[in-house]
Structure 1
Amino acid sequence: MLTAAVRVLAAAALSLQSPASVPVRDQQQWVLDALNVGQAWTVTKGKGVTVAVIDGGVDPKLKELRGKVTTGPDMSLSSVERAARPGAHGTAMAALIAGTGAEEGLIGVAPDARILSVPLEVTEQPADGSIEPQPAPRPDGDSGLESPLARGLRYAANHGAKVVSMSIGGYGPLKSEREAVSYALSKGVVLVAAAGNDGQTRYAQTNGTSYWNFPAGYPGVIGVGAVDKQGRRAAFSSDNLSVLVAAPGVGVPVARLGGGYQPAEGTSPAAALVAGVAALIKARHPGMPPERVAQALSSSARGRPAAGYDDKTGFGVVDAGAALNAADRLATAKPGPDVSDDLHFGQGVDSPVPSRPGPEPWRLWLFGGAALVALVTFSGAVMALNQRRR
């Protein structure tokens, strides 16, 4: 039986409220600076791009999202299409992506983008590691039923989404989700997901790596880890090879359902922020395939690990301005020359023809000479013995 509930990664916002005397735009400035969003905005703010938020429902009445949210059917139940109520988590993530900053409110990374809310029933998990999830394999989907996430991905791909943000996750891959991921990628949709908040679990501390969360673990999905204000990996952020890049995920101001703001932590806000940067790239280059968008994000990241990559922050922290520059270069790069069927390795000088197998000539002469000397010596000895007998 497929479960309708999906675990929200990261999202429990801290209960501590932000000081009312500090405008939210000032509170979030460090996040925008960390992502170098200001430089990117001189080129584009995401106009013409729809970002699907597969999460809890999004509040279309929030002042930062007013007039820019389209809501799809609730994907939690396959047989009944019912309207989903707005949720705190989905609303917060949508505002991080495309908040307009109306009335001096929170502004998203791609403020001119639109939001397609694809609601799922979600259960929140604190990001501070106080509740340690026990990994349990999910159904493999061989029953023929699609998971709610798989339905959501197909719906988003078929209804104009160019980017999909998924701050959700569960343990174990599903066949229906793998197929839905492939379907969305084939339609040019960029998929971004939170890597998870299992960095402080007993398993991670014992084994030096975290359980993989899905959809972040599916090939082609951009998995996002979380860093703090200093650009250091957040202790709760999952560390495994699903992490491609990282973004701020500690003390990130988010919009509250019904109004107001509060800080949040987790890989959820980090993934939403990267989805916003992906929207900027798609606005600049609408036809750029998902793998090139991922390449632009990863090749231009700041704070790259000493080895070039690690499983904690991936290739580093996303830089929106640099990512757009990288996307420009990728978009204008000339394709490599076509290779005919009989030239599998392209043009070039042929390697020398290998010599025929067998002993080398000088070894043969050496062996022959030694054998001749031995034969002469032996013959001489025989002749000397014969003379003595006579």
Structure 2
Amino acid sequence: MLTAARAVAAVLLALTGQTGAAAVPVRDQQQWVLDALNVEQAWTVTKGAGVTVAVVDSGVDDGVKELKGRVTKGPDMTSGTAVHDVPPGRHGTAMAALIAGSGTGDGLIGIAPESRILSLPMATDDEPVIGIPPAPDAETAAESPLARALRYAANHGAQVVSMSIGSYGPVKSEREAVSYALGKGVVLVAAAGNDGLTQYAQDKGTSYWSFPAGYPGVIGVAATDKQGRRASFSSDNLSVLVSAPGVGVPVVKRGSGYELSEGTSSAAALISGVAALVKSRHPALRPDQVAQALAAGARGRPAAGYDDQIGFGVVDAAAALNAAAALAGRPSGVVDPSGKEHFGSGEAPVPQRPGPDPLRLWLYGGGTLVALITFCGAIVVLNQRRES
């Protein structure tokens, strides 16, 4: 079985170290990300209040202004003990703020700025590990750190789990924990991986599958650039359901300040934020319905409708809320103020009840009765002719 450090490090993104904050305010830097996901339109309906997103990553710095008072720290998932004093990590802090950053003091604002974070640390090492060959399925009774984290999240009130982590090869305990969390109604989101430029991907035309993104029921997220095109490093395989910005995405630094990030990690955190918006508005939606809403509302859909590079396209938060409303049978409330009905009329159609259509039944029954009367009349006429 993979060690905890290796499991976390496999697809942790490399932060570029660029700041740019002195010249350009971070809110201006991140505006293109908000626009790409159409988040501000979604905020007219919900900002994620009432939803807790578990961040399975390195520890989260709850001292940064964007996350103060918003973070609950869970135990160290690598030890299986009740240790809560895990030092904050650079990567976990960045991902948490992308999801739930409050925007305090003109700081970075997350996709679901009124949601809360449950930090479930799995490592303190933020350095990425690349080039690891795929590992065999670890059929072992031992519970992996990720499996522990998923069960903890499901049992402690998380409605969404964000996993900007990955390893090669499925693990039995993780498959079971994924099923457990999904059964509890928890939406699971994971980075598809950063293996798009590996020699294997270039030779085979597809990337190694990364887990947990590869487990059934988990929403695998690819990374796109500012033009909505697949980022060259983003893994391409059938674990990809949707995509989101993953190139030049501003993030919060541990301690203070900002920098730019690259990787499917950022994309997964952003989609976790959109999932939080959907669960805030429609808390009863099942995980598969949330995934369906994200896919149905995506923009920049491939010509074939789907491909293994960007999935069904770049998620549109407002359109996802409309799609979720249709699945829930409720009005969405998301209306384009321009009146151009970019997302439709804003009123989701109520799904038809399953079963026969009463009008069609009457038409069918009436037609059958007329045919029967005509047939009987023809028989009577023929009998009369024979007798005469």
- The TM-score, its normalising length taken from structure 1, stands at 0.83
CA shift for structure 1 position 17 = 2.4
- For 1:28 and 1:245, the matched residues in 2 are separated by 20
User: Could you list the per-position Cα deviations for residues 246-276 of structure 1 after superposition, in whole angstroms to 9, with x for gaps in the alignment?
Assistant: 0000000000000000000000000000000
User: Could you list the per-position Cα deviations for residues 85-139 of structure 1 after superposition, in whole angstroms to 9, with x for gaps in the alignment?
Assistant: 110000000000000000110000000000000110154455xxxx741214156
Is residue 8–residue 123 contact of structure 1 (8 Å, CA) maintained in 2? Answer: no
Residue in structure 2 matched with residue 31 of structure 1 by the alignment:
33
Equivalent of 1:90 in 77, 89, 92? 92
2:354 aligned with 1:337: yes
Residue in structure 2 matched with residue 203 of structure 1 by the alignment:
200
- For 2:293 and 2:308, the matched residues in 1 are separated by 19
Q: Unpaired runs of 5+ in structure 1?
A: 340-348, 350-390
Is residue 59–residue 124 contact of structure 2 (8 Å, CA) maintained in 1? Answer: no
User: In the TM superposition, what are the counterparts of 1:219-298 in structure 2 within 5 Å?
Assistant: 219-298=216-295
3-state SS of the aligned residue for 2:180?
Answer: helix
- For 1:148 and 1:141, the matched residues in 2 are separated by 15
Residue in structure 2 matched with residue 3 of structure 1 by the alignment:
3
Compare CA radii of gyration and give the structure with the larger one. 1
CA shift for structure 1 position 29 = 0.3
Is residue 50–residue 161 contact of structure 1 (8 Å, CA) maintained in 2? Answer: yes
Is residue 89–residue 124 contact of structure 2 (8 Å, CA) maintained in 1? Answer: no
Is residue 247–residue 274 contact of structure 1 (8 Å, CA) maintained in 2? Answer: yes
Residue in structure 2 matched with residue 116 of structure 1 by the alignment:
118
User: In the TM superposition, what are the counterparts of 1:1-390 in structure 2 within 5 Å?
Assistant: 2-5=2-5, 6-7=8-9, 9-79=11-81, 81-121=83-123, 123-126=125-128, 132-137=130-135, 140-142=138-140, 144-332=141-329, 333-334=350-351, 337=354
3-state SS of the aligned residue for 1:151?
Answer: helix
Letter matched to residue 21 of structure 1: A
Letter matched to residue 119 of structure 2: S
- For 1:153 and 1:313, the matched residues in 2 are separated by 26
The alpha-carbon distance between structure 1 residues 8 and 50, as it changes in their structure 2 partners (threshold 3 A), is: farther
The alpha-carbon distance between structure 1 residues 79 and 49, as it changes in their structure 2 partners (threshold 3 A), is: closer
- For 2:137 and 2:208, the matched residues in 1 are separated by 17
- The TM-score, its normalising length taken from structure 2, stands at 0.83
User: Could you list the per-position Cα deviations for residues 205-263 of structure 1 after superposition, in whole angstroms to 9, with x for gaps in the alignment?
Assistant: 00000000000000000000000000010000000000000000000000000000000
- For 1:112 and 1:82, the matched residues in 2 are separated by 24
The alpha-carbon distance between structure 1 residues 194 and 305, as it changes in their structure 2 partners (threshold 3 A), is: same
CA shift for structure 1 position 21 = 2.0
- For 2:188 and 2:203, the matched residues in 1 are separated by 31
CA shift for structure 1 position 338 = 6.6
Deviation >2 Å, runs of 4+: 78-83, 122-126, 333-339
- For 1:166 and 1:93, the matched residues in 2 are separated by 9
The alpha-carbon distance between structure 1 residues 311 and 139, as it changes in their structure 2 partners (threshold 3 A), is: closer
3-state SS of the aligned residue for 1:170?
Answer: coil
- For 2:303 and 2:40, the matched residues in 1 are separated by 27
The alpha-carbon distance between structure 1 residues 82 and 71, as it changes in their structure 2 partners (threshold 3 A), is: closer
Is residue 9–residue 124 contact of structure 1 (8 Å, CA) maintained in 2? Answer: no
CA shift for structure 1 position 334 = 3.9
3-state SS of the aligned residue for 2:194?
Answer: coil
Residue-pair matches, total: 335
User: Could you list the per-position Cα deviations for residues 177-209 of structure 1 after superposition, in whole angstroms to 9, with x for gaps in the alignment?
Assistant: 000000000000000000000000000000000
3-state SS of the aligned residue for 1:214?
Answer: coil
Letter matched to residue 25 of structure 1: R
3-state SS of the aligned residue for 2:19?
Answer: coil
